[in-house]
A and B are shown apart, each in its own frame.
Chain A
Amino acid sequence: MKSHISIQDVNAFYGDHQALRNITVEIPQKQVTAIIGPSGCGKSTLLKCLNRLIDLTDGASVSGKIIVDGINVLNGSIDVTDVRRKMGLLPQKPNPLPMSIYDNIAYGPKLHGKPGKKEMDEIVEKYLKISGLWEEVKDRLKSPANKLSIGQQQRLCLARGLAVEPDIILCDEPTSALDPVSSQHIEQQLLKLKTNYTIVIVTHNIHQAMRLADYVIHLYLGELVEHGHANEVFENPKEERTRAYINGTFSIDLKIDSEANLKGKMCPFNFVYAKQALHNLEDGKILKIIVDDPTAVTEVPRGMEADGHKVLIVKEINKTDWEIVIQK
C-alpha cells in the first residue's frame, strides 16, 4: 500500500469545541478510502482539513500536519488554491455554479490556464464523458446548469471537479441528497475513477462504504477509533466501538428484553440507572437504553465494557438521542 495523504496528529477546534483529537492516519494512493462514523463525529471536518476549506469556517483552527506529495497542506504560507486544485470535492448537495453546463466545467480550467476554444471544448467533452453525463447533455451545453435534475447536477459537479485535474477526489456524503438510481450512478463512476485517483469518501451509509471502500477509517466523537483494510475492518473489527457502530447501522433484529429511557439524566447517573436496569436481568439478556447526554454516549459503553458487559449497538437515532444496546 502506497500512502498518498499522511495525516499526522491533527487537532481541530470550532471555538472551544474540539472536533478532531490527535488524528494520525495514512490514506492510500489510488484506492477508495471511506471515513465512517455517526454524524457529528468529525468526518466532514477531517475532509475540510484536507482541502483547507476549514479556513473559511468562522472560529475554526487546526493544528498538526497533513502531508500530500511532500507538502504540508496545513502550512499557512503555502498557496491554498494549489492545494484545493489538487483535490476535487464532491459536495453533499450538488452545488452547480450560476452559469451554463459548459461554463460550469470550463470555470476551473479557465482559472488555472487559458485554454483556447477548441481545447476547452475537448476538456468539457472529456470530463462530461468521464462523469457519464455527456450523452444526456451534449445537445444543450449552453443551457443553465440549474435546469438539470439533481442527480445530473451531482455528476456535473464531479465533472467540474475532475476538470481541474486533481489527484485526489474528496466526497462528502455525495449521495445523501440523491435518489437511489442517481446514487448508484455516482458510485459506479467513483469505482471507475479509482484507477486514476485517490478517492476519500465520507459517508454514514455503511453499505455504501462496503461497496466502495478499499480502506476504512472509523471516527467517533472526534477520535480515530480504527483504520485498516476494508474487509478486515468490516469482518473483524479490532475495536468494540467499531463493531457496535457497524452492527448498529445494520440494525440486526435483536431481541430486546428490557428498555430504559434515560433521557434528561446526566452522567454519571444514567450509568447508574443503566447498571440498575441490567442488574434485574439474567445473563445474556439484552437491554436497550436511550440517552441524550453526549458524554453518556461514550462513557456508558466504556463503563459497561469495563464491567464485563457487551455493548452491541451505539446508534444515533435523532439529533439529540442515542440508542445503546447492551448484553449482560
Chain B
Amino acid sequence: MDKLIEERIFKILMVVSLGIVVGSLFMVIAVIIWNGAPSLSISMITQTPKGGYYLGKEGGILNAIMGSLYLAFGSVILAFIISLPAALSLQKDYIGKTRLAYYIRLSLDVLWGTPSIVYGAFGFIVMLYFGMRASLLGGIIVLTILQLPIMIRSMEEVIKLVPYELKEASYTLGATRFETTFGVVMRQALPGIFTAVILAFGRGIGDAASVLFTAGYTDSLPRSLLDPVASLPLAVFFQLGTPFPEVQRRAYASALILLLIVLTLSIVSRYLSRKFTKNIIR
C-alpha cells in the first residue's frame, strides 16, 4: 500500500505545482489588467506627454509606444537580414557538421544567455567610442545584437527539421545549394522562421535594460535615427518611480499596453503561422 500512497502524494504535489505555475501566469495578467485598465484612456495612446505629465497632468505615452515600435521593427528587420543567412549556413549542406559550426552555436548560446544589462553597457561603450549619443539607431543596434542569437538558433532548429528528401529532390533536378536553400528549404521552414521572428520581436519590444543607456528617453517622437527615443518598458519603469499615485497608475496602464502588444503578437503569430502551412510537406 505504501507505494500507492507515495504515488498519490506526489501526484497531488505535481498537480498543485502545475496549478501554481499556470495560476501565476493568469495572476500576472489579471493583476496588470485590474490595476491598469482603470487608467487606460484614449489620450494615453494618442498623445505624447504634455508639460507636467509626470506630475499627473495631461498627456499620454504615444512617444513610448511609437518608440518601442520603431525600435522593435528596426531591430527585427536588421536582425532578420543577418540571422537568416547565418541560420541557413548552419545547415549540413554548408558548414553544419564542422567544428566551426559547433563553436558558432556555442558562442550564440552564450550570447543568448548574456544579461541584457551587459548588452546595454557594451552598446553604450561602443556608442561612446563612435561619438554617438543615446539614440534610436543605438537602441536598434543593441536590440539587433540581443535578437541575433534568438533568431539564428530558433531558425536553425526549424531549418533542421526540413526533410532531407526535399533537398534531395531539388538536387536531382540539378539545383545548386543556393537554389535549393532559397527555393525549397525556405518555403518548407517558413512558418517556423516566422515564429522565430515573432519570438525575437517580443523579446526586443519588452527589453528595458539594454535600451536604458543606448536609446535614451524623450517626450517627443524621434525625427531621425540619431534622436533619442522613448520605449514602453522604460515608460513603465520611470512612471512607477515617481512619487505620485496618479502617475504610478499610468505606469500600470503602460504595463497593460505592453502586455497586450506582446500577447496579441503571440496569438496572431500562432494564427498566421498556421496560414503559412498550405504548401508544407508533412
Contacts and interface: CB of A to CB of B under 8 A. Distances in A.
Contacts of B280: 98, 146
Contacts of B176: 81
Contact of B282 (A85, A146, A157): A146
B133 to A, nearest CB: 47
Interface stretch (A106-114, A122-130, A198-206): A106-114
A56 B174 CA distance: 13
Interface residues of B, number: 26
B274 interface: no
Nearest to B190: A98
B281 A84 contact: no
Interface in A149-180: 157, 160-161, 164
B268 to A, nearest CB: 23
Nearest to B189: A98
Interface in A87-101: 87-89, 91, 93, 95-100
A186 interface: no
A51 B169 CA distance: 12
Contacts of B175: 81, 107-108, 111
Interface size class, chain A: 20 to 34
A107 B183 contact: yes
Contacts of A108: 173-175
A95 B169 contact: yes
Nearest to A164: B173
A36 interface: no
B199 to A, nearest CB: 22
A145 interface: yes
Interface in B137-179: 163, 165-176, 179
A145 B279 contact: yes
Contacts of B282: 146
A78 to B, nearest CB: 13
Contacts of B165: 91, 93, 95
Interface in A61-100: 81-85, 87-89, 91, 93, 95-100
3 shortest interchain CB distances as A-B pairs: A85-B174, A89-B172, A95-B165
Given A98-B188, A145-B279, 15 more contacts: A51-B172, A53-B168, A53-B172, A87-B172, A91-B168, A96-B169, A96-B281, A97-B166, A97-B183, A97-B184, A98-B184, A107-B175, A111-B174, A111-B175, A146-B279
A108 B171 CA distance: 10
B187 interface: yes
Contacts of A51: 172
A58 interface: yes
B93 interface: yes
Contact of A58 (B97, B166, B168, B281): B97
A237 interface: no
A85 B92 CA distance: 22
A58 B188 CA distance: 23
B278 interface: yes
Interface string B183-214: 11001100000000000000000000000000
A112 B183 CA distance: 14
21 contacts: A53-B168, A53-B171, A58-B97, A81-B175, A84-B172, A88-B173, A89-B172, A91-B165, A91-B169, A95-B281, A97-B166, A97-B281, A98-B188, A107-B183, A111-B173, A112-B174, A145-B279, A146-B279, A146-B282, A161-B172, A164-B174
A228 interface: no
Nearest to B167: A56
A51 B173 CA distance: 10
Contacts of B278: 144
Given A58-B97, A91-B165, A98 B279 contact: yes
B170 A107 contact: yes
B161 to A, nearest CB: 12
Residue of B174, B184, B279 ringed by the most chain A CB atoms within 10 A = B174
Interface string B267-282: 0000000000011111
Contact of B169 (A83, A112, A146, A157): A157
B93 A56 contact: yes
A112 to B, nearest CB: 6
A100 B173 CA distance: 17
Contacts of A96: 169, 281
Contacts of A107: 170, 173, 175, 183
A81 B93 contact: no
Contacts of A111: 173-175, 179, 183
Contact of B172 (A88, A100, A146): A88
